Amino acid sequence: MIVLLLFFIGNCFAEEAYFQRENHYVSETIIGSINNIESNIKIDDFKIYEGRRVVFFEKGLIRVNSTYHFYIIPTKNGEYSVHIDNVLVNNSGQISSKNIIFYFNVSYSNNSLNFKVSPGVYEGENPEFIVTNIKNFTQNFTFDKTDYKISPLDSVKIRINSSVGFSYYDFYGYKIPINKFGRETSFNNNTDENKSFNCLKIEIPNIYTHQINKTQNFSLFIQNLCPIELENISIYSDNEETIFTNNNFSIMKNQKIIINFTSLKTKIGESEEVFFIIFNQSIINNASIKILSFENQTNFDAFNNKYDNAEPDKCEDIGGNFCDVNQQCSTDNYFYDIHAKEICCLSECLNINQKETNWLNVFMAILGFITIGLILYLLWKRSKHFKSQKVEDKFKEAERNMNKNSRVLKN
C-alpha cells in the first residue's frame, strides 16, 4: 500500500521522470530520464533520500537538449526518492519553476539483470564501461565478438563503438544512453556552444525605468548570427504582466529584428526580469535586466534625466551606500551605479521587515506599569496597617487591662 501511495505521489509531482524498468533490485544499474528540463542540473543537485535521510549511491547524469539521462546503483533495498530543487520546466512552451520529486523501490530478488554496468550513462569521446557479475555464480557473455567469463563480483572493462551524437546501446537488458563527442560536429549536434544557441543574440538596455501602476512600452533586439535561418521562434518573460506584440517569429541569417512589448509594475524599487528565447520547445537563450520602478512621474523623469544626460557617478564618490538584500532606501533619492551594477542609496538604508514604532502600544505599556505599581503600593499600605503588634506593646496592653480590672474589684 505504501509503495502504491509513493508511486501515485511520484506521478503527481514528477511527470517528467521515467525509468526504463518498473522493478529495481539491489546492485543492478537503474537507468531513467527526466524530460522538458531547461535548468543546468549538477550531480550534487540530484539528491537521493531514504525517508528524510540522504543516502549516497553511485549515480550520474548527462544532458541532451532538454532531457537529462541518469543512472543509480543502489546497494541496499528500501523505498527511496530523488529530489531536485528549483528546476525550470518547459510545459509546451510555458516555463515554470518547480521542485521535482520522484520515487522508486529497491528489493532483493533473483529476477534482477545478470550484470551491473558502470557508468549507466556516458558522455565523451571514448565510451567505456565496467561490467560486473552481480550473481553468485560464474557467467559468460559475448561482446564485440569477444567471449568473457566472469566469476561472482568480478568485473571486466569494455569499450563501445557508437556513432558521433546521441544514441542508446543495447547491452543484456540495458539501454545505455551515450552522447559521444567527435571532431566533426554540425549546428544541430549537442556541443557546448550550440546547445545554448549563443549565436542567437538578445540585445537589451542595461536598465529599464518604470512608473508603477502604469503600462509602458519597451523594445529589445534579437540578432541571428547562426549559420541558418531559424523559424518558429518564441519569446517569453517570467513576469506574467509582460506582453509581447509579436510573440512568435522567424529570423533570417544575420538578420536583426526588433521585439516590442508592454509591461506593468505595481511595486516601488528594483526588480529583475528574465526573457526566454524558445526554439523547438527548448530554451536556447535567455537574458535578464534590472528594472527600477518609481512611484510618481516626477521621480521617474528626474531619474531618467540624470541617468541619460549626466556622466555616470560612482556611489562611493558621492557618499552613497549599497543597501543589503534585506534593506531598501528610505527615500526615492537613489540612482543606478553602472560601474558596480547596483542601486546606490543617497539616504539611509532601512531593513525591509523593520516595523515602525507603535506609540499607542508604548502608551498602553506605560499605563500598565503605572497601574501595576499603584496596586502594589496599596497592597503594601494595607499590609502595614495590619502589621502584628510588638511584644512590649502586648505587655503594656495586658498591664492596662489588669489595672482596670483591679479598680473594678475594689469598687
Q: Which residues contact 404 (CB under 8 A, 6 or more apart)?
A: none
pLDDT score, position 80: 95
pLDDT at residue 189 greater than cutoff 90 = no
**Residue ranges of the chain assigned to CATH 2.60.40.10:** 2-180, 200-310
Sign of the Cα torsion 98, 215, 286, 36 reads positive
Pick the CATH number of 200-310 from 3.20.20.70, 2.60.40.10, 3.40.50.360, 2.60.120.10: 2.60.40.10
The confidence score (pLDDT) of residue 195 equals 38
- Is the per-residue pLDDT at 111 higher than 70? no
> Mean pLDDT highest for which of 71-75, 105-109, 350-354?
71-75
- Predicted confidence band of residue 201 (pLDDT cuts 50, 70, 90): confident
User: Where do runs of H (alpha helix) occur along 190-233?
Assistant: none
Summarize the confidence of residues 134-152 as an average pLDDT.
Answer: 87
SS (H, E, C) the chain: CHHHHHHHHHHHHCCCEEECCCCEECCCCEEEEECCECCCCCHHHCEEEECCEEECCEEEEEEECCEEEEEEECCCCEEEEEEEEEEEEEECCEEEEEEEEEEEEEECCCCCCCEEEECCCEEECCCEEEEEECCCCCEEEEECCEEEEECCCCEEEEECCCCCEEEEEEECCEEEEEEECCCCCCCCCCCCCCCCCCCEEEECCCEEEEECCCCEEEEEEEEECCCCCEEEEEEEECCCCCEECCCEEEECCCCEEEEEEEECCCCCEEEEEEEEEEECCEEEEEEEEEEEEECCHHHHHHHHHHHHHCCCCCHHHHCCEECCCCEEECCCCEEEECCCCEEEECCCEEECCCCCCCHHHHHHHHHHHHHHHHHHHHHHHHHHHCCCCCHHHHHHHHHHHHHHHHHHHHC
Distance CA 208, CA 271 (A): 10
Range of lowest pLDDT (54-68, 311-325, 359-373): 311-325
- Predicted confidence band of residue 192 (pLDDT cuts 50, 70, 90): very low
**pLDDT computed for residue 311 by the predictor:** 53
What would the mean pLDDT of 212-238 be, rounded to a whole number? 80
pLDDT at position 46: 92
Q: What is the pLDDT of residue 248?
A: 80
Decide which of 162 and 335 is more confident. 162
Q: Residue 375 has what pLDDT?
A: 84
CB 244 within 8 A of CB 260: yes
Of 42-51, 366-375, 392-401, least confident by mean pLDDT is 392-401
Q: What is the mean pLDDT of residues 255-281?
A: 79
Quote the mean pLDDT of the chain.
77
pLDDT band at 245 (very low <50, low <70, confident <90, very high): confident
Q: Which of 95-109, 133-147, 346-360 has the lowest mean pLDDT?
A: 346-360
* pLDDT for 194: 37
> Which residue did the predictor score with more confidence, 277 or 398?
277
Integer Cα distance of 283 and 66 in angstroms: 8
Q: What gap in Å lies between CA 288 and CA 274, rounded to an integer?
A: 4
Q: Domain 2-180's class? A: mainly beta
| Distance separating alpha carbons of residues 282 and 95, to the nearest angstrom | 10
Alpha-carbon distance 279 to 233, whole Å?
Answer: 5
Question: What mean pLDDT comes out for the span 373-385?
Answer: 75
